[in-house]
Structure 1
């Protein structure tokens, strides 16, 4: 069966640019597992992977696998511009007990679709774990086309996909091409469309908000999978309240992550330190986040 449910893309709790907030990491993992998450995804976009040293990435994987202790699957992002570094981290992830890895198209140089497919075939020859492909065109500037996804699903060891394009037409195209592959996991990133995605046959969500409120997103997934529309509408309203308040403090694209980390800090879960080039919110923005959490009655969502 494919992986199903909510897979939070873990934030990376930091004390400074090269020091993990280890106590915060353990609290965050316990909080997420306690909320019913199906798995954890380390070193994704929400985990600030591209801003972290290789030392910190490896330490995060090692500690997270130790804290999870086999209770749920652990997925590790190995995206990099360097083929060798992706493989190095994949082998470290396997060594520490991770269950699968996740990769975007290599960034900086733009790959054509035939080049991207050849890249996947080559890297899978040395891959020690099953792999999910990760469609994140806003950051990588390259998209896995539906046809490439279909071809990738035939490569041994590639078992699923996370799509963060926020494009339901794209989802329909991919799903149509994979209709004979019910074993291939297909998950969506943006939580604003997770319910619709699941009701259309998707397998779940890789939702950043599940760092804060895992139970909310797990319940939303379950309601969508059961086509319980009154419950979906009720819970999606809460998810949209989070999206339009906590993620929209400030003017820039970093506001989502700053708001998420700030909220986790206000909730007493982990530090809100941001890896360079970003900085955590200052006191005025923090007060806005505090007010948004109070308006959410956030303790009732835990």
Structure 2
């Protein structure tokens, strides 16, 4: 059977004045733990990692492991602008018990492929006997991971996979051709669980599934069944939810408020949904929860 992991990219909850809402974040973790998904991806883009300091990072990792690890894998994102900062976060998370990690490429300043390899090699050494996923998001970081570089990174002993965000199916296929068969490729495109699987991905890291996991579970089950009509219906449901919530953290948090999960806001400079968007969020919750 084709592997179709769904890893939930989990938002971080903040109070209206910007302070960390640890209890709200834990409420989201507990909600995600009941999703039936295979894993949680914490403190990534959806978790607003650039706006979280080391002390908050430690609090959130400790809470995530306490509230999620009994139900699913927990992948802790540690990527930063430098290897020094990323290694420090690996060390914090390892002390707390984390064993699966992901690291986005360095960002803001351009890096050569040699510089990117050195960055991931340093993080790999810090991860030790854990597992590390490369996180390629060139639309946000400005630093792409070529298939040739990925093939080199796959030779590091604990680099086991990649999360590829805002990359085309053709680019995912190129990654698949460059790495061993057991190297894991996750797409960051919420709606592409099936489509990316057809070109060699083993699953999706989805922020939207943190809010409404049911359509994603149904799509995975339909794909496993091979029933074309069931796949089409399930894909339409996923597309509906993604079109309304997408990779928009304020909309995710508005949905949590509507469902009574957590009353959090974003810390980063993101626009809150307007009345029309809130009405659509209410609609998809009523339809797909």
Fold agreement, TM-score > 0.5: yes
Structure 2 equivalent of residue 257 of structure 1: 249
Structure 2 equivalent of residue 133 of structure 1: 134
Distance 1:100 1:199, change over 3 A: same
Distance 1:227 1:144, change over 3 A: farther
Q: Is 1:161 the equivalent of 2:162?
A: yes
Within 2, Cα distance between the matches of 1:97 and 1:215?
A: 29
1:80-120 superposed Cα distances (whole Å, 9 cap, x missing partner): 11322211111111121222111111112211123212322
Q: Is 1:143 the equivalent of 2:144?
A: yes
In the TM superposition, residue 155 of structure 1 has moved relative to its aligned partner by 0.7
Structure 1 equivalent of residue 34 of structure 2: 34
Distance 1:3 1:12, change over 3 A: farther
The number of residues matched between the two structures is: 287
Within 1, Cα distance between the matches of 2:39 and 2:173?
A: 25
Structure 2 equivalent of residue 235 of structure 1: 234
Within 2, Cα distance between the matches of 1:30 and 1:301?
A: 19
Structure 1 equivalent of residue 80 of structure 2: 80
Q: Is the 8 A contact 2:9 2:207 kept in 1?
A: yes
In the TM superposition, residue 31 of structure 1 has moved relative to its aligned partner by 2.0
Q: Is 1:208 the equivalent of 2:200?
A: no
Distance 1:245 1:18, change over 3 A: closer
Within 1, Cα distance between the matches of 2:94 and 2:3?
A: 19
Q: Is 1:94 the equivalent of 2:94?
A: yes
Structure 1 equivalent of residue 8 of structure 2: 8
1:242-269 superposed Cα distances (whole Å, 9 cap, x missing partner): 222334xxxxxxx822212212221111
In the TM superposition, residue 272 of structure 1 has moved relative to its aligned partner by 3.3
In the TM superposition, residue 191 of structure 1 has moved relative to its aligned partner by 1.1
Within 2, Cα distance between the matches of 1:37 and 1:279?
A: 29
Question: CA RMSD for the aligned pairs?
Answer: 2.2
Q: Is the 8 A contact 1:196 1:224 kept in 2?
A: no
1:167-216 superposed Cα distances (whole Å, 9 cap, x missing partner): 111011111122xx232111101113222012333211101111111222
Q: Is 1:217 the equivalent of 2:216?
A: yes
Structure 2 equivalent of residue 70 of structure 1: 70
Structure 2 equivalent of residue 301 of structure 1: 288
Q: Provide TM-score, normalisation by structure 1.
A: 0.87
- In structure 2, stretches of 5+ residues that fail to align are none
In the TM superposition, residue 63 of structure 1 has moved relative to its aligned partner by 1.1
1:211-248 superposed Cα distances (whole Å, 9 cap, x missing partner): 1112221221232344432222112112221222334x
Within 1, Cα distance between the matches of 2:223 and 2:199?
A: 9
Within 2, Cα distance between the matches of 1:224 and 1:292?
A: 27
Distance 1:101 1:160, change over 3 A: same
Within 2, Cα distance between the matches of 1:61 and 1:16?
A: 22
- In structure 1, stretches of 5+ residues that fail to align are 248-254
